[in-house]
Amino acid sequence: MALHSLTLFGALLATLGCTKDAAEDSADTATGPEAVCTELAEVECVDELILGLGLQDTESDGEISTVTDGDDFVSTIDATAGGYEASSKNPWVYVRFTADGLEKVVIDDEEALESMEWHMALHRFKIRINSGSSGPSCVGAAPLLETAYADITEPGDPTYYYDEYMDGSCEVIYDSSGLPGSPQLAMGSWWSYESCVKTTGNPFIIQLEDGHVLKLVVEAYYESGQEACNESGTAGTNSAIFTMRWQMLE
């Protein structure tokens, strides 16, 4: 039995210089939150990142859809990447959170390393955020391990983490799940593995580059059968068809 451990490798938002202080002069606080960052940061170890994550120069054909459920958005994201056997040769799907719902960003993996347009990227069970090792923006994620999604009504003052999974020698830091090609991601605690990919129900506070903040929880990894996976370890059907519930908080 291999359980995915919660060891977060992150850095506070200030480490890349994408801070609210840096954006105060250009942000319009009268119309919304202050921007967290406005300029591209340099992504290090690009060649090693492309090889280590199997990044492609083609665009994903994965589709996304969003419906509303009360104050929440519920988004479905096709991150199948051609299926388990072919996933290493298929690109990530990139998305952006907006006040009107989730939008797909049509961009290839290599272009994404020089773009702030996307907020999150998905590929099979892996979820990257646009920051640190993953991208040039400053999207931060804060896991709230002892709080239910429904109980989160305001952002609070959490510690945000960037994706930081490339070490000083440009080697990928992998998590302890035992699954191949699984880097230690800031949002890694959404899942665990025991015969199938289980959802933990751990919610996240996500801070976007423009200062907007949302709450999010991954409700399902399988198109059907997630409950059976969580309860008995029986894999569901059609893996990597994510269901995410989220809501803008500010």
Query: With left for phi above 0 and alpha for psi between -120 and 50, is residue 70 left, alpha or beta?
Result: left
Element (H, E) at 23: helix 20-23
What's the token pair of residue 169? 């020698």
Query: What pLDDT does residue 178 have?
Result: 72
What's the token pair of residue 109? 């993996």
Alpha-carbon span 117 to 100, nearest angstrom: 16
Contact residues for 215 (Cβ-Cβ < 8 A; gap 6+)? 149, 152, 203, 204, 205, 206, 246, 247, 249
pTM equals 0.87
- pLDDT tens digits, residue range 122-177? 999 999 999 999 999 999 999 999 899 999 999 999 999 999 999 999 999 999 88
Nearest to 79 by CA among 98, 89, 94: 94
Residues with pLDDT less than 70, the chain: 1-31
Alpha-carbon span 109 to 58, nearest angstrom: 7
Query: What pLDDT does residue 31 have?
Result: 67
Nearest to 127 by CA among 36, 202, 45: 202
